[in-house]
């Protein structure tokens, strides 16, 4: 037996055995295991194949930095690729499968890559597959991708729920190791709102792997006691299984909580993962430090792992990583690991110390090789020995596991995500956290503290400092005594010379020292270039183990300090975050908010087909029996409005109530046309310009009483117009007494249009609405038969006699029903926005198809609405710019095909007849087009260079996109009733 479960010890529940499978084979583990610890307990050291060379790999770490042991967890739609076995919490029935191998993990055909590895160095693809270029996408890239790789994503829909939530606190503590626990306890006892988050499923961090005693009890028990106290504090929120992955503006932290990843049968009522946005007044980074691997020949073989990992498997999970363990170290960590292994009865064959001498206590009976190094490892699927070298003499040492320690790197990612770079410390031989201001500070090992005692003290001190900054003055917390402490300091050793095999820097991407050297020789010297050229520091682990060693080795090659090399850029996410968590509930029917009109139910009842218009769902057309295409419905609706009457839902138009003594003057300045003398009880069409003289929006404003107006806007610009009004009132003319509020949602508004509109409306409205009593553009409150108060406007978008009736939204459906009933004998029909569009094109009215942010009032034929005699209005000055008044500007015209059966499409370009289609020859474009059932052929509105002078000319409507050319005649834009005789019936 090589690696095995100890008879006792560890923070696992030996009373609860769990069954799981790996590559189809069944294993047993315990509650409290990770997948990796359970596999090791079953002597399964081979866990993966490497990315490029398909080399056999085991675990290197016992935490989230793991580069090797990536597996696919679960199956079917729930299959999750690239899960790190070192952090996957074991549960009953878990299924795991190895990746990037065929036909099996042990016999992987792809391992042939390793034989060819001398030809497969960094940049190999770019140099080799250069010609012919077309083959890259079709042949080379697919081949390479098949040969190398990670796990495969499932193509099935995710069956689980995800959520997002906000959290707020005075102090966020990131990491629940010794420093984090002390910081949280200090702040928690003082009563401030604390959130303590840790990526692990059990709080305690390194205390769980520690053999020292804290406060007179085993470290893990001390941790449990602190957690227990924290759990009783109502002001403290404990968030286990929660990775704080990003630091964003204004002290907002992103975190992902794995709510049910560890559950055998997830509840459908709970999310699988929950994304948190944590708003913190202060934060403490207590993420600890990562142990560096040593870079020596054959350092990637199964059985070689960090000393800290070996200690964690031993002390936390009760697993011996080997039967005969060798240690290779440049600091105290190796000695402590040897001592811990020995104490559990594991045979330690030798400590190979790279330093000539050290003060670290040598455990009794262990052979020590000082000033030594490892230059190769033996064995394939698990090491069975190593070659040590000392002063030119080589020696084979038997072992089935090798614990290595290359020193410690503080985990400073979060503090470096907003631009600040980590700072190299010669004293600590490590990159330390930058100073990012007092609100976010590092504590303990993350701040470069080395020993457990220092971490506990620093955590408490940083917690206390946070309290002071929050204005809570309290006494300092005593720090518990640590017994059996060791000195974790180390001497730098970036690269072990004399390697007989590849010495890997980045395990996940198969980047070895030779690749880094090649990058320097080929000119990719900047560390960011070195990264891109070699792929060191990429992929799922983002170089958590590799980056610092890369900087150190490149510094050594260049003969400079790592300070000069620096690090690559740190970005969120610290560890991978699923798309599901990022999407949260915003998927399927919750993907976007839905806005419905108060007449939605009425439209549905009448068979409407709906169209999305921004967040709104608007009724587009109302098919009746036998109508197979939308055009049939729309043609019928249009003709019916022109002959009888139709009812259309216009509730989505923006409505803004305007109050104040200054309202008239305000509107006069907001609109380009005059509003000062609009009488009470009248509506007026209004045109708004932007400051630059371009048309902004159009609509109507009606004066309901002396100081009360209601403005309508287009559906799309309702919010923008309200913001524009507020901005103008507050910043341009604060002296005007005017106030606004949106009432869009208050009113169900319907347009009743057609020659029979009055007779129908008079059956519903009590008031006299004869042409004399209620003429064109009348607007006032009326009472419906039955007593309901409503607003009635005589305005028309269709060119027909028309009324818009606004009733309180809750009555909308009932009133629309009543109008349909009242109009049945007159042949009323419901019509949608498509018919509305045809009616307005026939009448030559413009919408945002024409008011597209480029056109002036004059361009669209509304020059008469520029009341230049007014002292000022928004857009007046800049509308006089030369460019906006030039004679060759595009102007609104009508277009009709010369051959009546031809179709004009919106978006097509206009060319002089016979001209070649080119940008230089472009004369304009078609802005709106439709089939006019009234005229029996297609009609269009278009923007044509000097268009109004060219009525009668023939132009080519050229649609290169859809491949059509239609010779058309330029005509005035009003196709139906240009005399407006129908409006005044």
Partner 1 sequence: MSINLLHRHALEDHISGFETDPNPNHLCVIRRPVIFSVLAHEGQETAVAEALWNAEDVAPRFCSPSEWFAVSRTLGAETVAGTLSEIAGASVVDQSDGRVLMEISGPSVRTILAKCVAIDLHPEVFEEGHSASMLCCHAEANVARTGADRFEIIVPRSLAGSVFELLMEMGREHALTRGFAG
Q: Are strands 789-793 and 739-742 parallel, antiparallel or unpaired?
A: unpaired
Q: Does 745 bind partner 1 (CB under 8 A)?
A: yes
Task: Tally the C-alpha atoms within 13 A of residue 567's C-alpha that lie toward its C-beta.
Answer: 30
| Closer by beta carbon to partner 1, 704 or else 777 | 704
Q: Of 153 and 270, which has the nearer Cβ to partner 1?
A: 270
Q: How far is the CB of 163 from partner 1 (least distance, A)?
A: 6
Pick 533 or 616: Cβ nearer partner 1: 616
> What is the rounded CA–CA span in Å between residue 531 and residue 511?
10
Q: Which of 130, 396, 741, 985 binds partner 1 (CB under 8 A)?
A: 741
**Exactly one of 125, 136, 811, 925 binds partner 1 (CB under 8 A); which one?**
811
Q: How far is CA 59 from CA 40, 97, 199, 887, 931, in A?
A: 9, 15, 19, 76, 69
Query: Smallest distance, Å, CB 745 to partner 1?
Result: 4
Among 193, 292, 512, 840, binds partner 1 (CB under 8 A): 193
Binding status of residue 786 toward partner 1 by CB under 8 A:
yes
Residues 790-809 within binding reach of partner 1 (CB under 8 A)? 808-809
Mask for 570-589, x = binds partner 1 (CB under 8 A): ---------------x---x
User: Is residue 461 a contact residue for partner 1 (CB under 8 A)?
Assistant: no
Interface with partner 1 includes 409 (CB under 8 A)?
no
The minimum distance between CB 715 and partner 1, in angstroms, equals 11
For the CA atoms of 910, 693, 728, 792, what is the dihedral angle to 10 degrees? Answer: -50
Contacts with partner 1 by CB under 8 A: the residue count is 56
Nearer to partner 1, 467 or 518 (CB): 467
Report the SS3 class of residue 202: coil
3-state SS assignment for residue 213:
strand
* 249 contacts partner 1 (rule: CB under 8 A): no
Each residue 641-660 as x (binds partner 1 by CB under 8 A) or -, in order, gives: ----------------x-xx
Nearest-approach distance from CB 547 to partner 1, in angstroms: 34
Answer yes or no whether residue 763 interacts with partner 1 by CB under 8 A.
yes
CB 361 → partner 1: shortest distance, Å?
51
Structural tokens at position 938: 């297609």
The SS3 call for residue 226 is: helix
Q: Does 810 bind partner 1 (CB under 8 A)?
A: yes
Kindly provide the b/e burial profile for residues 925-941, where b requires at least 16 CB atoms within 10 angstroms of the residue's own CB: bbbbbbbbbbeebbbbb
List the interface residues with partner 1, window 899-958 (CB under 8 A). none
Q: Counting contacts by CB under 8 A, is residue 744 touching partner 1?
A: yes
Both tokens assigned to 717: 């610009």
Touching partner 1, residues 890-909 (CB under 8 A): none
Query: Could you tell me the smallest distance in angstroms from the CB atom of residue 66 to partner 1?
Result: 31
Integer Cα distance of 193 and 282 in angstroms = 11
First to last CA, the chain: 101
| Least distance between partner 1 and beta carbon 803 (Å) | 16
- Pick out residues in 500-559 that bind partner 1 (CB under 8 A): none
* Residue 869: Cβ-neighbour burial (10 angstroms; 0-12, 13-18, 19+): exposed
Given 135, 270, 898, 961, the residue binding partner 1 (CB under 8 A): 270
The distance of closest approach from Cβ of residue 971 to partner 1 in the complex, given in angstroms and rounded to an integer, is 39
Helix axes 307-315, 332-343, angle to 10 degrees: 30
Among 91, 490, 747, 958, binds partner 1 (CB under 8 A): 747
Tell whether residue 597 is a contact of partner 1 (CB under 8 A). yes
Contacting partner 1 within 138-177 (CB under 8 A): 161, 163-168
3-state secondary structure of 513: helix
Q: How far apart are CA 553 and CA 570, in angstroms?
A: 19
If phi > 0 it is left, if psi is from -120 to 50 it is alpha, else beta; for residue 407 that is left
Backbone CA torsion sign across 466, 467, 468, 470: positive
Angle between helices 178-189 and 219-232 (to 10 degrees): 30
Does the footprint of partner 1 cover residue 614 (CB under 8 A)? Answer: no
Strands ordered across the beta sheet of 739-742: 683-689, 695-705, 708-713, 654-659, 739-742
At its nearest, how many Å lie between partner 1 and the CB of residue 190?
A: 15
d(CA 183, CA 470): 14
Contact positions vs partner 1 (CB under 8 A): 161, 163-168, 193, 267, 269-271, 277, 279, 585, 589-590, 592-598, 601, 615-616, 657, 659-660, 708, 734, 737, 739-741, 743-747, 763-764, 784-786, 788, 808-815, 818
């Amino acid at each position: 037996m090589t690696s095995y479960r100890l008879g006792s010890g560890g923070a696992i529940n030996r009373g609860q055995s769990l069954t799981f499978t790996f590559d189809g084979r069944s294993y047993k583990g315990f509650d409290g295991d990770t997948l990796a610890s359970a596999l090791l307990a079953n002597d399964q050291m081979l866990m993966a194949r490497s990315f490029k060379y398909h080399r056999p790999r085991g675990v290197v770490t016992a935490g989230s930095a793991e580069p090797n042991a990536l597996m696919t967890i679960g199956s079917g739609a729930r299959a999750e690729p690239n899960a790190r076995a070192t952090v996957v919490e074991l549960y009953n029935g878990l299924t795991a499968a190895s990746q990037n191998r065929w036909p099996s993990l042990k016999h992987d055909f792809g391992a042939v890559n390793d034989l060819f590895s001398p030809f497969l160095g960094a940049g190999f693809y770019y140099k080799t597959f250069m010609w012919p270029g077309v083959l890259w996408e079709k042949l080379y890239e697919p081949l390479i991708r098949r040969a190398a790789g990670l796990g495969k994503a499932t193509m099935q829909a995710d069956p689980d729920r995800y959520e997002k939530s906000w959290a707020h606190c005075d102090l966020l503590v990131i990491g629940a190791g010794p420093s984090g626990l002390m910081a949280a306890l200090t702040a928690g006892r003082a009563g401030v709102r604390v959130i303590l988050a840790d990526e692990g499923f059990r709080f305690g961090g390194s205390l769980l792997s520690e053999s020292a005693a804290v406060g007179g009890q085993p470290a893990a028990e001390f941790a449990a006691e602190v957690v227990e106290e924290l759990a009783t504090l109502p002001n403290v929120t404990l968030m286990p299984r929660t990775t704080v992955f990003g630091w964003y503006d204004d002290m907002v932290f992103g975190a992902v909580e794995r709510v049910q990843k560890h559950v055998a049968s997830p509840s459908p009522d709970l999310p699988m993962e929950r994304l948190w946005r944590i708003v913190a007044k202060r934060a403490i980074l207590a993420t600890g430090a990562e142990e560096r691997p040593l870079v020596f020949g054959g350092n990637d073989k199964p059985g070689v792992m960090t000393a800290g990992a070996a200690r964690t498997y031993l002390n936390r999970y009760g697993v011996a990583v080997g039967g005969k363990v060798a240690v290779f170290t440049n600091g105290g960590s190796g000695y402590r690991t040897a001592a811990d292994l020995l104490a559990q009865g594991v045979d330690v064959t030798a400590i190979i110390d790279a330093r000539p001498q050290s003060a670290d206590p040598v455990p009794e009976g262990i052979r020590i090789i000082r000033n030594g190094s490892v230059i190769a490892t033996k064995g394939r699927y698990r090491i069975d020995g190593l070659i040590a070298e000392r002063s030119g003499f080589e020696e084979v040492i038997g072992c089935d596991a090798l614990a290595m320690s290359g020193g410690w790197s503080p985990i400073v990612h979060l503090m470096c995500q907003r631009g600040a770079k980590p700072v190299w410390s010669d004293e600590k031989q490590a990159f330390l956290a930058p100073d990012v201001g007092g609100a976010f500070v590092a504590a303990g090992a993350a701040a470069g503290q080395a020993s457990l005692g220092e971490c506990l003290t620093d955590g408490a001190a940083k917690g206390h400092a946070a309290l002071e900054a929050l204005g809570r003055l309290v006494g300092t917390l005593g720090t518990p005594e640590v017994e059996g402490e060791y000195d974790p300091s180390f001497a730098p050793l970036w690269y072990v010379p004399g390697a007989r095999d590849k010495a890997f820097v980045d395990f996940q991407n198969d980047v070895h020292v030779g690749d880094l050297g090649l990058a320097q020789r080929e000119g990719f010297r900047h560390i960011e270039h070195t990264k891109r050229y070699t792929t060191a520091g990429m992929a799922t682990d983002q170089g958590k183990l590799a980056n610092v060693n890369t900087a150190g080795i490149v510094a050594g090659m260049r003969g400079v300090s790592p300070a000069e090399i620096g690090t690559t850029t740190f970005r969120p996410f610290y560890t991978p975050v699923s798309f599901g968590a990022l999407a949260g509930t915003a998927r399927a029917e919750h993907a976007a908010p839905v806005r419905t009109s108060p007449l939605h139910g009425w439209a549905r009842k009448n068979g409407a087909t709906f169209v999305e218009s921004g967040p709104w769902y608007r009724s587009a057309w109302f098919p009746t029996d036998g109508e197979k295409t939308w055009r049939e419905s729309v043609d019928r609706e249009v003709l019916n409005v022109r002959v009888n009457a139709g009812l259309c839902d216009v509730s989505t138009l923006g409505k803004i109530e305007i109050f104040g003594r200054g309202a008239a003057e305000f509107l006069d300045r907001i609109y380009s046309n005059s509003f000062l003398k609009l009488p009470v009880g009248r509506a007026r069409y209004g045109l708004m310009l932007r400051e630059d003289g371009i048309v902004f929006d159009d609509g109507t404003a009606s004066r309901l009483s002396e100081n009360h107006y209601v403005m309508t806007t287009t559906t799309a610009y309702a919010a923008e117009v309200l913001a524009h009004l507020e901005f103008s009132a507050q910043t341009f003319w604060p002296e005007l007494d005017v106030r606004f509020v949106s009432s869009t949602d208050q009113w169900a508004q319907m347009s009743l249009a057609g020659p029979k509109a009055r007779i129908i409306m008079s059956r519903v409205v009590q008031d006299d609405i004869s042409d004399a009593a209620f003429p064109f553009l009348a607007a006032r409150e009326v009472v419906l038969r039955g007593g309901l108060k409503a607003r009635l406007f005589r305005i028309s978008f269709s060119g027909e006699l028309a009324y818009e009736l606004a009733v309180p939204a809750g009555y909308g459906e009932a009133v629309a029903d009543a109008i349909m009933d009242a109009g049945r004998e007159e042949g009323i029909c419901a019509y949608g926005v498509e018919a509305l569009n045809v009616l307005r094109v026939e009448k030559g009215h413009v919408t945002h198809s024409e008011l597209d942010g480029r056109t002036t009032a004059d361009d669209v034929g509304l020059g008469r609405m520029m009341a230049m005699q007014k002292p000022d209005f928004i857009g007046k000055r800049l509308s006089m710019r030369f460019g906006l008044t030039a004679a060759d500007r595009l102007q609104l015209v009508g277009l009709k095909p010369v051959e009546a059966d031809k179709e004009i499409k919106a978006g097509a370009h206009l060319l002089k007849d016979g001209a070649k289609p080119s940008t230089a020859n472009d004369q304009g474009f078609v802005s709106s087009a439709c089939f006019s059932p009234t005229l029996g052929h297609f009609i269009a509105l278009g923007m044509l260079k000097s268009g109004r002078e060219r009525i009668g000319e023939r132009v080519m409507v050229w649609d290169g996109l859809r491949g059509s050319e239609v010779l058309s005649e330029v005509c005035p834009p009003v196709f139906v009733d240009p005399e407006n005789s129908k409006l005044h019936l």
